[in-house]
């Protein structure tokens, strides 16, 4: 099968969308499919043996890490020469959105909904953009024969935004790289600023308002009322990074972005993952924590209830609850070894159920469905 993949974000940026996209490409390569990738920003020349066609783009002031642009004549010429059986628009918001509108005139299109942009608009302080974002989602996804969503709750959200013909893209996680065996005392010392024997709470993700990261320090302050030596490590970077680390408490560590073996070790070396975000369409950090044997305390919002089984693999908390309501389940996990061990085992077992091969095979079936329908 010949697949043109138009993506809104790609390497070298690392986030949940890029993780899912690259793991999907890995599996497509292993399955023998042909793919041509179109990506904004400064992407690598190739990935998984597939050529990457760069799209001229620029960052947005409110979200500078993500660049947007338009496919030009040269890119469309590459698309025509490749002559795909299907076009997959990943997260069509701008670049992939307008490109998919044009591509849909000639090729069957499938799209995938990864980012709740209207909710991001509220978190980023630009509420006037929300109606435009909803229009964009409805318009761009409206041209796709099938639209993939990443969690059960997002099927309802897609319906709210007027996204038609929805199918579920199964969740998956790399349980070979993300594993409890990656735990090291050296990484734990790094995350605790030299106190590896102290209880350690992790946050992993973009240090930005849409992740509700500003709640982490007050929540851990509340935890420290009952566990005075509890520590917090924030793994990631983003717009709030400099502000939050300008005068951090002595028990908080900011690592910046971690990737590869360092990221795997960071997850495995923590005790609990704190995940207060309310804008997740799935929540890859929770899945990666599970694979690493880490229970998760997360917001009961967005796609996170699709991942975290409350009371089994972690705890779900009302996102508007006071800090003490978040601190209680964290403190329980840090002080009750049996509860922590049981949830850690359940989390790892849950992660082992979801493989990238099975996920990609499901998506390839959707590709076949769309191609067959277009040929009728």
Roughly what angle, to the nearest 10 degrees, separates helices 73-82 and 95-103?
Answer: 50
- Give which of 94, 91, 95, 93 is closest to 111, Cα–Cα: 91
Domains of the chain, by residue range, sit at: 2-172+355-375, 180-351
Tally: H helices and E strands in the chain: 14, 16
In this prediction, residue 69 carries a pLDDT of: 84
Tally the C-alpha atoms within 13 A of residue 86's C-alpha that lie toward its C-beta.
24
CA distance 232 to 219: 10
CA distance 96 to 83: 17
CA distance 120 to 335: 35
In this prediction, residue 33 carries a pLDDT of: 98
Roughly what angle, to the nearest 10 degrees, separates helices 323-335 and 216-223?
Answer: 60
CATH topology of domain 180-351: Rossmann fold (3.40.50)
pLDDT digits (tens, 9 = 90+) for 244-285: 999 899 999 999 999 999 999 999 999 999 999 999 999 999
In this prediction, residue 188 carries a pLDDT of: 98
The residue ranges of the chain whose pLDDT is under 50 are none
Provide the strand spans (E) within the chain.
2-7, 34-40, 46-47, 50-55, 57-60, 63-69, 86-90, 109-113, 146-149, 166-168, 200-204, 231-235, 252-256, 272-275, 296-299, 314-317
In this prediction, residue 111 carries a pLDDT of: 97
3-state secondary structure of 168: strand
- Give which of 247, 349, 246, 232 is closest to 295, Cα–Cα: 349
Sign of torsion over alpha carbons 20, 21, 26, 30: positive
Tally the C-alpha atoms within 13 A of residue 163's C-alpha that lie toward its C-beta.
30
| pTM of the entire predicted model | 0.91
Roughly what angle, to the nearest 10 degrees, separates helices 260-268 and 284-291?
Answer: 70
CATH topology of domain 2-172+355-375: Rossmann fold (3.40.50)
Question: Does 180-351 match 2-172+355-375 at the fold level?
Answer: yes
3-state secondary structure of 175: coil
CA distance 88 to 264: 29
Q: Are 66 and 8 in contact (CB under 8 A)?
A: yes
In this prediction, residue 376 carries a pLDDT of: 63
Question: Before 12, cis peptide (omega within 30)?
Answer: yes
């Amino acid at each position: 099968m010949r697949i043109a993949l138009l993506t809104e974000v790609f390497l070298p940026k690392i986030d949940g969308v890029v993780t899912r996209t690259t793991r999907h490409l890995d599996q497509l390569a292993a399955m023998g499919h042909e793919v041509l990738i179109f990506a904004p920003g400064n992407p690598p020349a190739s990935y998984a043996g597939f050529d990457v066609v760069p799209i001229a783009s620029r960052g947005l002031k409110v979200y500078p890490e993500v660049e947007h642009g338009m496919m030009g004549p040269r890119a469309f010429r590459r698309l025509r020469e490749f002559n795909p059986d299907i076009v997959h628009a990943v997260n069509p918001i701008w670049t992939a959105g307008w490109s998919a509108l044009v591509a849909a005139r000639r090729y069957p299109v499938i799209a995938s909904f990864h980012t709740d942009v209207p909710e991001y608009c509220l978190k980023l302080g630009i509420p006037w953009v929300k109606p435009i974002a909803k229009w964009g989602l409805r318009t761009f996804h409206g041209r796709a024969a099938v639209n993939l969503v990443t969690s059960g709750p997002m099927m309802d959200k897609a319906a709210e935004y007027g996204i038609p013909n929805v199918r579920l893209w199964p969740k998956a996680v790399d349980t070979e790289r993300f594993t409890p065996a990656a735990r090291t005392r050296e990484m734990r010392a790094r995350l605790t600023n030299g106190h590896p024997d102290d209880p350690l709470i992790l946050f992993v993700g973009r240090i930005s308002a849409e992740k509700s990261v500003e709640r982490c320090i007050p929540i851990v302050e509340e935890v420290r009322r009952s566990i005075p030596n509890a520590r917090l490590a924030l793994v990631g970077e983003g717009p709030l990074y400099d502000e939050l680390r300008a005068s951090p408490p002595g028990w908080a560590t900011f690592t910046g972005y971690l990737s590869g073996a360092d990221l795997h070790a960071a997850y495995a070396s923590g005790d609990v993952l704190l995940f207060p975000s309310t804008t997740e369409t799935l929540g890859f950090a929770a899945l990666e924590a599970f694979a690493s044997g880490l229970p998760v305390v997360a917001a009961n919002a967005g796609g996170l209830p699709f991942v975290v089984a409350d009371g089994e693999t972690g705890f779900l908390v009302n996102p508007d609850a006071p800090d003490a309501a978040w601190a209680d389940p964290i403190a329980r996990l840090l002080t009750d070894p049996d509860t922590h061990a049981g949830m850690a085992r359940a989390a790892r077992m849950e992660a082992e159920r979801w493989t990238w091969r099975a996920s990609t095979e499901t998506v390839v079936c959707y590709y076949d469905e769309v191609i067959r329908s277009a040929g009728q």
